[in-house]
A and B are shown apart, each in its own frame.
Chain A
Amino acid sequence: MGSDEEDFVFHGTPIEREEEIASRKKKAVAGASGNLRTLPAWKQEVTDEEGRRRFHGAFTGGYSAGYYNTVGSKEGWAPQSFTSSRKNRAGARKQSISDFLDEDEKADMEGKSLSASSQFDTFGFTAAEHSRKQAEKEQHERPSAIPGPVPDELVAPVSESIGVKLLLKMGWRRGHSIKDVRASSDARREARKAFLAFSTDENTKETPDSLVSETEAETSLGPQFSEDIKISESTPVYVLNPKQDLHGLGYDPFKHAPEFREKKRSRLSANKEVGFRKPLSMKESLFGPKSGKIAPGFGIGALEELDVEDEDVYAGYDFDQTYVIEDEQPARPSNDNRLRLTSKKDDVLPGFGAAKNSDYSMERFNPPKIPKDFVARHKFSGPLEAETKPTVSAPPEVLPPADNNLKLLIEGFATFVSRCGKLYEDLSREKNQSNQLFDFLREGNGHDYYARKLWEEQQKRKDQSKLTLDVKLSPTVQKMTAETRGSLLGEKPLQRSLKETDTSASSGGSFQFPTNLSDTFTKSASSQEAADAVKPFKDDPAKQERFEQFLKEKYKGGLRTTDSNRVNSMSESARAQERLDFEAAAEAIEKGKAYKEVRRATEQPIDFLAGGLQFTSGGTEQINDTGVVDMKSSKTYPKREEFQWRPSPLLCKRFDLPDPFMGKLPPAPRARNKMDSLIFLPDTVKATRQVSESQEPKKETSIEEPEVEVEVENVERPVDLYKAIFSDDSEDDEDQPINGKIQEGQEKKNEAAATTLNRLIAGDFLESLGKELGFEVPSDVPYQEGIKPMEEERKSRSKPEDSSDKRLDRSGLKEKVEEKTSSLTLGSEEEKSRKKREKSPRKRSGGNDLSSGESSGDERRRKRSNKKDRHRYKDSESDSSSDYHNRDKEGSRSRRKRREEKRSSHKKHSKHHRTKKSSSSRYSSDEEQKESRREKKRRRD
């Protein structure tokens, strides 16, 4: 056909069929890959060597790629190795990369597997393997005369390691030791030297034993060389030199200064000769062992050529030791230690000599001489023994005086005296000199009866004390109630439903207190029950326990707990104070009327521990009780109560209000029982207690106390302090009530400080008295009128003070103390006068206020806050721990509460004068604020 076509003549362009063109084009494209490059990038195709298209578009892959581009199977990624693990556990197959490769990729992978190339195959394992394989292959290809596989031994590795090659190039020959080479070839002396240095450096780091031999061998290089040859005869020398320095791997400190290496080596050998003794150097002589390494950090460059003659220039610096900061041989440290020890032996620093004569001579004090009759056990010269002795002879029995009241008084007093000691009698005699009622103390009416009664009581007490002392039982055990047992075991006493009926049982006789003391088992039951139920100190179990104990004894006439309680950390005066409080509280409990007030007074802080549970838990309980009654009459509704409520900060934020509790302690979770509230006592408060208690021993310096208190204040309430300092600058409407409150708080604080002072003085006396008596009892006649217990406490405290003035003439001291403290507590003078002003109305109202229990809320509230202040400051004066509250309570929480109290009283104040319409001015009675601010400013000035 070709030849035929040549004969034709063609005109024009032939019309070609499209299919042909397309196929031809395709072919052309496929054939000439060179053309591909001319195509635009998006038309180019990548094919593998079999012409398969390698890459597909993301969306065409499924159509055109088939499964060539995937796993290579229809199943795709179905794991080949899947086997039910239940049936066939062991058969878990591991997939390898080859499972996922194409043939061509596998071919690529071939020979790229990781193995040591023959060049670096030092030990020839791979090479051996390889050669064996090769041999096998060859054997297959051309069968040799010997049938079977060639034994391994016959096929040796052909290749040499690079190290061997290097050695060979350096002139080493097989079968010779390396040192041999060095020795023989003079031409490479320098290289040899370096090499030698290298090897010896490593050798030096060997264990001392080998070190000795090696270094010696090295240093005396020449003569011992022949030995060396003998030693290292066999070619493959495995140098065993464990790394012993602290340099990085491969770091050679002497890399650029081989001279020093030599130097060091020589020194080392020298060391060895001395027997690991370093040559004396400055190191030891002056600067101590460490400084040597630091000092020569400078100027070392100048010392490159350090020779023997140079050494003295630098006063024997041990330079090659110090040049490079390197650790010495492991044997060294112990050496050093020994050196140090020996140098220290004669207590002279190196470089110093011991002085011949010293001014200082140790003064020795001989231990105090113990008197021969000293018994190593402290016996309290308590009133018990002291008092019981003189009244050995029983006074004759006398008929009780006709006046029943007097009889009761005498009996009670006798019990008291017998318990408290003679001192008490003297005291009260002195005090009641003008009191007709106490004539029996002074040979008057009923003195005989008194004497007899006293004797009886003392006898009774003696017996009891003997009994208890013998059995060594604390009086608590005498009658073990569930309550006491629980408290012994540290259990939390259950909060009983506080029914007033309990107290009513005990409140039968108003003059019960001294009269019932004598009969131990008849009446005490009810009163004790009452005492159990009524817990004025329930926030402090320990104190409550003591109180219960106190009551028990009080009604039982048993041994004083003070004897058993002495063990605890309370100071004498603190205990005396507490005793006072106990007496007062007990009295209050007995009086059913007074009961409410006591509880209220004592329990307010508890509410705060309860975390804003309610305003006053005790109070509300009572109110609720009465509320039930009132429900029937239904006339008193609506009834208003107020509680503390703490809005969450976020809530205040959302309402665009300042958080009234900002900076206060976070609210404690609502306490379900008293235990909870106990748990949440802040630690700081406890710390305070410790502080104050630790202060107690040095009570004489009573001036310190306010300082301590202030300090504690700062620790606990930084925010309020800041507020107190800065808040009057802020004129916000919202802040103003707070300011006023703080202001008021300041006043209170100062006032309380003044009170503290008085108490301190009183406490000072009490302390001395308490040491004699063991405790203090209210020196007044048992409370006849319904005086508020706090009032009583105050009175009783001030009374000993008075008497102290009389007896001990301590007024001068008192003044002095006052002076000092006035300088400490700011503005205390002013405050004192204010206090006086405030005090007097309170006293006036005190009597009937309680009994009526219906004084204006305003009044009561103020009183309460006052009381609170006192509590707080009592905390500081560690000698007067006695309170209805224990100190723990006096934490910031109570403080917070007090704040609110004040605020509420504030509010109440204003409320009274408010009409219905003026409720908008409810929270800011302007006058008050202004007043308070002015006052504050004044104080600041």
Chain B
Amino acid sequence: MSAAAELPTKEAHILKGHEGAVLAARFNGDGNYALTCGKDRTIRLWNPHRGILIKTYKSHGREVRDVHVTSDNAKFCSCGGDRQVYYWDVSTGRVIRKFRGHDGEVNAVKFNDSSSVVVSAGFDRSLRVWDCRSHSVEPVQIIDTFLDTVMSVVLTKTEIIGGSVDGTVRTFDMRIGREISDNLGQPVNCISISNDGNCVLAGCLDSTLRLLDRTTGELLQVYKGHISKSFKTDCCLTNSDAHVIGGSEDGLVFFWDLVDAKVVSKFRAHDLVVTSVSYHPKEDCMLTSSVDGTVRVWKK
């Protein structure tokens, strides 16, 4: 249990403010702040380390499903049930741009490294790339090779990776113009990339997390024990890539060892479904959000 001791299992703060389910909680680039969004159609900016609500952003017409901050903390984007991707200014709280085009709910958004584009994953089976630099509100690219809802999107410097309910994790490599599709056979709920960029962790709806080698498409490890069958629950890796974290629908949070897939630790984080887990980029700190409307900050 020495490994478990290093894990952030102690509750440091409860961030209360959201009315209704919190659907996503995300650290910013340096981990000093956190953005959460939820069914109350708001996005909230917190200082998770002090447990303070800094700002509330309201403009979405429906629930907000995902949010992501640029690396320079100046802008963030959000998406949700209103089929739009919002591009916000952090300090003024104004919406700079609204990207319309998705024909359904938008499940996930991500900035690229240089924050020049937003990639959104939608219920309309497409990934759309939106340009933040120009004034065009048309998507730069529409990737619609998915056969079902795209649940999650991750960007690297050169690739766009999307996970879809059709059971595939598709990597779109811009350098070589290839689409690499890894079919997992199970609906992919959430994908997250390891910090060394070699692996993709895919949370599938058969209550399994799968770790894939990105270069070969090999299945490296399978992580089981939690429940993930009907909710969009997040999974992630710790900043050291030592552990895999997954939220469970029964309110537990699981820690697996990356290599031997043992459950290192599990604890009740929330009363209800854990919708999102986010790990601090440097410290041992974790955010969990839940349908119960709270966001909890976990530390060692």
A residues neighboring B (CB under 8 Å):
614, 627, 631, 634, 637-648, 650-652, 654-658, 660-661, 734, 737, 900, 903-904, 907, 911, 914, 916-917, 919, 922-923
Contacts and interface: CB of A to CB of B under 8 A. Distances in A.
B174 A660 contact: yes
A929 to B, nearest CB: 15
Nearest to B183: A639
Interface in B149-206: 157-158, 169, 172-186, 197-198
Contacts of B112: 654-655
A640 B182 contact: yes
Contacts of B181: 640-643
Nearest to A922: B215
B174 A651 contact: yes
A660 B177 CA distance: 6
A645 B141 CA distance: 11
Contacts of A647: 141, 172, 174, 177
Given A642-B180, A654-B133, A655-B157, A919 B174 contact: no
B230 interface: no
Contact of B219 (A614, A637, A654, A907): A637
B117 A651 contact: yes
Contact of B185 (A634, A648, A655, A923): A634
Contacts of A641: 180-181, 183
The 8 closest A-B pairs by CB, nearest first: A640-B217, A645-B179, A919-B215, A660-B177, A637-B185, A643-B179, A654-B116, A639-B183
Q: Most A CB atoms within 10 A — which of B157, B183, B198, B217?
A: B183
Contact of B183 (A637, A645, A646): A637
A447 to B, nearest CB: 59
Contacts of A654: 112, 114, 116-117, 129, 131, 133, 140
Given A645-B177, A658-B175, A900-B177, 20 more contacts: A614-B145, A631-B185, A637-B219, A640-B180, A640-B217, A642-B178, A642-B180, A645-B172, A647-B141, A647-B172, A647-B174, A651-B141, A655-B113, A657-B174, A660-B176, A737-B176, A903-B176, A904-B178, A911-B216, A914-B215
A647 to B, nearest CB: 4
Contacts of A634: 185
Nearest to A896: B177
B179 A644 contact: yes
Contact of B198 (A645, A650, A658, A916): A916
A20 B212 CA distance: 105
Contacts of B157: 655
Contacts of B169: 638
A627 B175 contact: no
Contacts of B250: none
A647 B176 CA distance: 9
A661 B177 contact: yes
Contact of A638 (B140, B175, B183): B183
B198 A917 contact: yes
Contacts of B214: 919
A654 B179 CA distance: 19
Nearest to B176: A660
B183 A643 contact: no
Nearest to A630: B185
A638 B184 contact: yes
A59 to B, nearest CB: 38
Contacts of B140: 648, 650-651, 654
A740 B169 CA distance: 29
B210 interface: yes
Contacts of A646: 177
B143 interface: yes
A658 B176 CA distance: 9
A922 B156 CA distance: 15
19 contacts: A614-B145, A638-B185, A638-B219, A640-B217, A643-B181, A645-B178, A648-B129, A648-B140, A648-B141, A650-B131, A652-B174, A655-B113, A656-B114, A657-B174, A900-B176, A904-B178, A911-B216, A916-B213, A923-B175
A919 B129 CA distance: 26
B257 to A, nearest CB: 18
A627 B166 CA distance: 13
A907 B157 CA distance: 19
A657 B183 contact: no
Contacts of A903: 176
B176 A907 contact: yes
A614 B129 CA distance: 20
A656 B157 CA distance: 9
Q: Most B CB atoms within 10 A — which of A627, A638, A639?
A: A638
Given A651-B129, A654-B133, A655-B117, A638 B198 contact: no
B183 A916 contact: no
Q: Most B CB atoms within 10 A — which of A642, A907, A922?
A: A642
A295 to B, nearest CB: 65
B179 A642 contact: yes
Contacts of A642: 178-181
Contact of B145 (A631, A643, A650, A900): A643
B218 interface: yes
Given A654-B112, A655-B158, A644 B182 contact: no
B181 to A, nearest CB: 5
Contacts of A655: 112-114, 116-117, 157-158, 174
